[in-house]
Amino acid sequence: MRFLVTGGAGFIGSNLVDRLLAEDGDVTILDDFNDFYDPAIKRANVEAFSKLVRVVEGDLRDLASVQEAMEGVDVVIHLAARAGVRPSIEQPRLYFATNVDGTFNVMEAARDAGIKKVIFASSSSVYGVNKKVPFAESDPILRTISPYAATKIAGEQICSNFSHLHDMNVVCLRFFTVYGPRQRPDLAISKFVRLIDEGKPIDRYGSGDTGRDYTYVDDIVQGIIGAVRYDGQPFDIFNLGGSQTVSLNEMIAAVEDAMGVKATINELPEQPGDVPMTSADVSKARQHLGYEPKTALREGVRKYVEWYRALHSQVG
């Protein structure tokens, strides 16, 4: 099968590409290698498999680049986006242009190329301040609280439109706080590990009681593969989470245990746009995608620290 993975040089994308190649998939990557974080990290992600894939370097906002990447493709897995709640508050126009206009370009180019299967990476952030726990796909989405979340719910609606109007099979996957090897340096676990390793304090926003459903990247990749194989409804939405909500304080403790070092904590006020809790009901994904998250947080953090230390011993 021939796949296009947008954002294939990034954290989740590169882990997915590894899995697709291991299953003899033919893979094209579309990535703009932007400077949201050091582009050298993304280029290093791709280096290991660069001779095995086709790489199109281009921006989602450029329809011609997206159309070029679609050539000869059977399935599109659309992971590329401007990510993160806090930076979306600072640059909302960039987020809407990339995530909304860019997703429209992906869907339009897929339609024009005759591609019938698209997987779209959405986010648990669409649930906003959801008082019902755990979050289920059937919950009403009444109020997002960040531009990033708004772009993701808009992306889902674009996908729904194309599925309905153009006979396309589209699956939207709501990811819950993904972590693991190659994690973006701005995300909490990778940032905490790096700062503790460097003997620097870590920032904790609020009291540390906020909760997240941390999901190990291998589990997310398993869910994406399940979505590729899914042949149910022409348009559907699934949660992909770890089925365990862990407080920020508990996550910090897991990082400290894996590092063998007690963190120095810099206490800061809560950040606007952050939701107090995320918690995934994955029963629908379990039933229809064969999804079964296997990696508990402490095990996943230990694996991440092992990967981090191995990487930095090579660099050193």
Catalytic positions are 148
Q: List CB contacts of 149: < 8 A, sequence separation 6 or more.
A: 85, 123, 125, 126, 128
Tokens of 2: 């021939």
Beta-strand relationship, 117-123 and 169-175 = parallel
d(CA 6, CA 12): 11
Q: Which residues partner with 171 through β-bridges?
A: 119, 236
H-helix or E-strand spanning residue 28: strand 26-31
Which of 163, 151, 97 lies closest to 123, judged by CA? 151
The residues, any chain, with a CB within 8 Å of residue 152's CB and separated by 6 or more, are 81, 99, 122, 123, 125, 126
Task: For residue 241, give the nearest of 90, 152, 134 by alpha carbon.
Answer: 134
CA–CA gap between residue 120 and residue 70 (Å, rounded):
15
* C-alpha–C-alpha distance, residues 130 and 279, integer Å: 10
Do residues 136 and 284 make contact, with C-beta atoms less than 8 angstroms apart? yes
DSSP three-state, residue 174: strand
Q: What residues contact 268, with CB distance under 8 A and at least 6 apart?
A: 203, 204, 205, 206
What does each C-alpha distance from 156 to 9, 99, 104, 234, 286 come to in angstroms? 23, 11, 10, 13, 21
